[in-house]
Structure 1
Amino acid sequence: MQFAAILAGGSGVRMGNPNKPKQFFYLGDKPILVHTLEKFCAAGCFDGILVLTPATWIQQTKDIIAKHCPQYAGQVAVIAGGAERNDTIMNAIRYFEDECQADDASIIVTHDAVRPFVSLRIIEDNIAAALAHGACDTVVPATDTIVESLDGELISSIPNRSVLYQGQTPQSFNMRELRETLESLTPEESAILTDACKAFVLRGKKVALVRGDVSNVKITYPQDLRVAEAMLEA
């Protein structure tokens, strides 16, 4: 079985509106979240799709989905996310196990709600890689030189760009293995590891690379929304 978890628990602080999560900002004629959700619903390859949102926005999220994509409303469940990203993912796993009878072979595809330009090819490649390897991360090769500074003032090192990649989402996993890996983290590890793929790497588990796309942008700042508007018009 294959499941999708749309992680929509972010805030609007960096978008200049702390009272409105950024996934609910409009992109064109509908919220960013709806653009993203439509890609996963239209893919037609999921046994369940879940949106994880701030607890105070659950009803608003349901209303937004019913208004902007009523044809998919029956396919999508909405529940509260967690305090941190990995807590949100654990909420999704528990939901799919308890409500959708997910088994040991089930795959979970996790995706940022504010990456509305994800393609069907990326989604399908994630599923294939998760089935083959147990875990995968969507990435694009780094195009800029990456500079490391341990003190924030002086350069510590400049890694070889040819072996560096920029992470995107989806990140996809065998659901049972993901749950076991996240449950194995100590409180100290959980406090610093906010990325599920990092947890796999920490435990010495392999994570396959899936080729992303430069268009699969994350909308975080107001200038990102302006770029997304231009992309949508194009």
Structure 2
Amino acid sequence: MNIAVILAGGSGSRVGGDKPKQFLRVAGKMIIEHTIEAFHINPRIDEIAIVSREDYLEEVKEMVSNNGYSKVKHVLCGGKERYHSSLAAISTCRNNDDRLLLHDCVRPLVTQRIINDCLDALDRYEAVDVAVPTTDTIIETAPDGRIVRIPSRNSLRNVQTPQGFRCGTIRRAFELALQDPDFMPTDDCSVVFRYLPDTPIFVVEGDPMNIKVTYRDDLKTVEEHILGRTR
């Protein structure tokens, strides 16, 4: 089965407002609705699981019912850290060969091409990331603020989501990670990279518009893009 996991447990304080950013409205719908619909309309996605904040679980369930999102089979409670949300979704996976696409809820502009490319890549690989070439020079600094390394931009990428996995692979990676007292994940691919180092992670080409809503100005960018697609 191809299962999309919408990670909607964040607080989004940098955007402002009285609600987490995934529940703010752009182009007539909440961000979470735009994101769910991107996966719901894809004919290759069999199921959708949503991982939400505990205090918004009932609102999410009501939204799913009102919109008739028939592919949504699970509305789950996340945890304090992002990886707790990933673990909640992984725990519902029934078959180690199922394919999971874990996606940040606040990336509502994910394209059908990216989703399909991730699923295609999971036919050949056990782990898949999405990334775009970095456009800025990246520097590495010492604790005292000195530059110690300037890596070539040719090999650098900015990571996006979804990140895709065979269920058995990401489950095993987390089992090993949770035994490590120094476990400090940045995202799900980093867990596979560190704890299953012999597992190749294929990189799917992302899209510059597959942005993560972080600041208030991002809301305007998303709205303009959505309205432009519907005209």
TM-score norm. by structure 1 comes to 0.91
Counting matched residue pairs gives 224
Which of 94, 106, 124 in structure 2 is aligned with 1:114? 106
Distance 1:50 1:152 in 2: 44
Which of 85, 89, 93 in structure 2 is aligned with 1:92? 89
TM-score norm. by structure 2 comes to 0.92
Q: CA deviation at 1:86?
A: 1.7
Q: Does structure 2 conserve the Cα–Cα contact (< 8 Å) formed by 1:36 and 1:113?
A: yes
> Deviations along 1:130-164, whole A, 9 cap, x unmatched?
22110010000111111222327222211000000
Local SS of the residue matching 2:124? helix
Describe the shift of the 1:44–1:189 C-alpha distance in structure 2 as closer, same or farther (beyond 3 A).
farther
Which of 124, 137, 143 in structure 2 is aligned with 1:132? 124
1:11 has 2:11 as partner:
yes
Q: CA deviation at 1:227?
A: 1.6
Q: Does structure 2 conserve the Cα–Cα contact (< 8 Å) formed by 1:84 and 1:194?
A: no
1:188 has 2:175 as partner:
no
Q: What letter is aligned with 1:36?
A: T
Q: Does structure 1 conserve the Cα–Cα contact (< 8 Å) formed by 2:93 and 2:167?
A: no
Aligned to 1:230: 224
Distance 1:229 1:188 in 2: 42
Q: Does structure 2 conserve the Cα–Cα contact (< 8 Å) formed by 1:148 and 1:157?
A: yes
Alignment of 1:25-44 (within 5 A): 25-44=24-43
Q: What letter is aligned with 1:153?
A: G
Aligned to 2:194: 202
Higher helix proportion? 1
1:80 has 2:77 as partner:
yes
Gaps of 5+ in 1: 98-102
Q: CA deviation at 1:82?
A: 2.2
> What is the percent sequence identity of the aligned residues?
35
Alignment of 1:137-148 (within 5 A): 137-148=129-140
Distance 2:210 2:19 in 1: 23
Distance 1:135 1:152 in 2: 37
Deviates more, 1:150-159 or 1:20-29: 150-159
Distance 1:48 1:60 in 2: 20
Gaps of 5+ in 2: none
Aligned to 2:163: 171
Distance 1:134 1:22 in 2: 31
Describe the shift of the 1:129–1:52 C-alpha distance in structure 2 as closer, same or farther (beyond 3 A).
same
Distance 1:231 1:14 in 2: 21
